[in-house]
């Protein structure tokens, strides 16, 4: 099926957004791409190196909450993929105002412009976290929304605004809810990059609680292929879950990372649990699979590749880890690490 001539990718300087820019840039040579990104602490133009100077790509620095910037960014675009969000659960527990602003009000600002312009497609990139923690069931798209932290509550707000715009104005929205992504260019605040880079630096790995919380791990390129398919084939007004079925307890993932870098398990330090920590995320992705999608990347092999990427791109993450992140890390982890217990002790 023919792809769009010109698309807007919000949050395209972040982890998944930049991977999606590369994915579409490589696979759809006829498509023009506009990136709108506020370049918060999580946005990084280095994630788009080698792409930004191509005439097919336009970058606009601006917020999705700013109606003027949004209007300029929509110019000539047939479809929008909204990745822009505040995304880190730990930060939302400290302060949620920016999450409500971007993830809810920003989504509303985009929807208004999409509606006024009559775009062909609005893809809202959401998360498995909106369903809350699973007690054994795999959530389907009609499962109740029971968010467990301020981040996921904000993402629910954005999802529901999409639903409301579709119902009220007929805006051609599709919402996707993905499980935990991993891969290159993921910010070091997140579990896998933090644990890989701490191992490379000879630091301890701060594991929350008993380490038996489970996440379904999806390699970022599989997320990109799902989004491309849903944009083309998904039914307007519908929600699609995106999951790999590769569920692992955090302790096991930490062990794999240490083993692959030849570091001892004693680097793991069990720290005080995250407040309101969702135990398990689990989704049923059969609705998406019925469109013809399946994940192509094996978990073990992709994790190995991801570890190697961080090993080989030390300059990228050392720059991210310096400056403001160092202060965040000190504030968030220092006391917890002091009081923690070492794995095996
Ligand atoms: P990220 O934090 O790496 O990137 C977010 C990007 O959005 C950054 O470039 C940042 O500068 C930009 N941004 C933030 N506020 C903005 C604003 N007001 N206006 C414009 N740009 C703004 O996030 P990510 O992990 O790449 O996640 C992307 C999307 O996917 C988010 O919507 C997130 O909720 C969703 N998601 C992520 C995961 C995951 O595992 N990372 C899983 C499911 C869903
Ligand atoms: O230092 C840590 N120690 C630790 O044990 C960190 C940062 C995380 N963890 C645990 C908490 C989670 O059980 O690892 C797991 C993964 O944590 P995060 O990387 O913070 O991800 P999570 O909270 O699962 O949320 C992610 O998946 C859904 C993304 O950050 C969200 O943006 C996405 O919507």
pLDDT tens for the chain, 345 residues long, are 789 999 999 999 999 999 999 999 999 999 999 999 999 999 999 999 999 999 999 999 999 999 999 999 999 999 999 999 999 999 999 999 999 999 999 999 999 999 999 999 999 999 999 999 999 999 999 999 999 999 999 999 999 999 999 999 999 999 999 999 999 999 999 999 999 999 999 999 999 999 999 999 999 999 999 999 999 999 999 999 999 999 999 999 999 999 999 999 999 999 999 999 999 999 999 999 999 999 999 999 999 999 999 999 999 999 999 989 999 999 999 999 999 999 987
**Residue whose entry in the numeric block shows the structure tokens 């300087």:** 13
Overall residue count recorded for the chain in this entry:
345
Known catalytic residues are 128-129, 151
- CA-nearest of 141, 80, 69 to 115 is 80
Tokens found for residue 318:
């050392």
- Do residues 16 and 181 lie in contact, with contact meaning Cβ atoms separated by under 8 Å? yes
Whether ligand 2 lies within 6 angstroms of the CB of 122 is answered as no
pTM above 0.85, yes or no: yes
DSSP β-bridge partners for residue 139: 283
> 263 CA distance to ligand 2 centroid (A)?
22
Question: CB burial class (10 A; 0-12, 13-18, 19+) of residue 52?
Answer: middle
Question: Which domains are delineated in the chain?
Answer: 6-182+217-242 (3.40.50.720), 191-214+249-277+299-342 (3.90.25.10)
Dihedral sign from CA coordinates of 225, 231, 234, 239: positive
Residues with CB under 6 A from ligand 1: 10-11, 13-17, 36-40, 42-43, 63-65, 83-87, 102, 106, 125, 127, 155, 178, 180-181, 187
Number of the ligand closest to the Cα of 103: 1
């Amino acid at each position: 099926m023919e792809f769009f001539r010109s698309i807007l990718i919000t949050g395209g300087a972040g982890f998944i957004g930049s991977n999606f820019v590369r994915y579409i840039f490589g696979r759809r040579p006829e498509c023009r791409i506009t990136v709108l990104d506020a370049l918060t602490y999580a946005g990084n133009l280095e994630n788009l190196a080698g792409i930004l100077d191509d005439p097919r790509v336009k970058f606009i620095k601006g917020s999705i909450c700013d109606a003027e910037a949004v209007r300029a960014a929509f110019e000539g675009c047939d479809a929008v993929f909204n990745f822009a969000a505040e995304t880190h659960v730990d930060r939302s527990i400290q302060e949620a105002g920016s999450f409500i602003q971007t993830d809810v009000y920003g989504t509303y600002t985009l929807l208004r412009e999409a509606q006024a312009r009559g775009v062909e497609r609005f893809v809202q990139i959401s998360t498995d976290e909106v369903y809350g923690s699973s007690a054994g069931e795999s959530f389907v798209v009609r499962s109740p929304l029971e968010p467990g932290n301020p981040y996921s509550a904000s993402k629910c707000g954005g999802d529901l605004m999409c639903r409301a715009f579709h119902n009220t104005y007929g805006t051609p929205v599709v919402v996707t809810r993905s499980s935990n992504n991993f891969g290159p260019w993921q910010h070091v605040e997140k579990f896998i990059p933090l644990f890989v880079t701490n191992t490379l630096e000879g630091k301890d790995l701060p594991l929350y609680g008993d380490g038996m919380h489970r996440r379904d791990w999806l390699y970022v390129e599989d997320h990109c292929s799902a989004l491309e398919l849903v944009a083309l084939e998904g039914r307007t007004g519908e929600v699609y879950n995106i999951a790999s079925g590769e569920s692992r307890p955090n302790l096991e993932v930490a062990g794999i990372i240490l083993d692959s870098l030849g570091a001892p398990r004693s680097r793991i330090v069990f720290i005080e649990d995250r407040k309101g920590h969702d135990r398990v995320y689990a989704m049923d992705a059969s609705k998406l699979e019925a469109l013809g999608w399946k994940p192509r990347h094996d978990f073990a092999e992709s994790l190995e590749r991801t570890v190697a990427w961080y090993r080989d791109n030390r300059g990228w993450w050392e720059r991210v880890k310096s400056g403001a992140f160092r202060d965040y890390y000190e504030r968030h982890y220092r006391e917890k690490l002091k009081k923690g217990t070492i794995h095996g002790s």
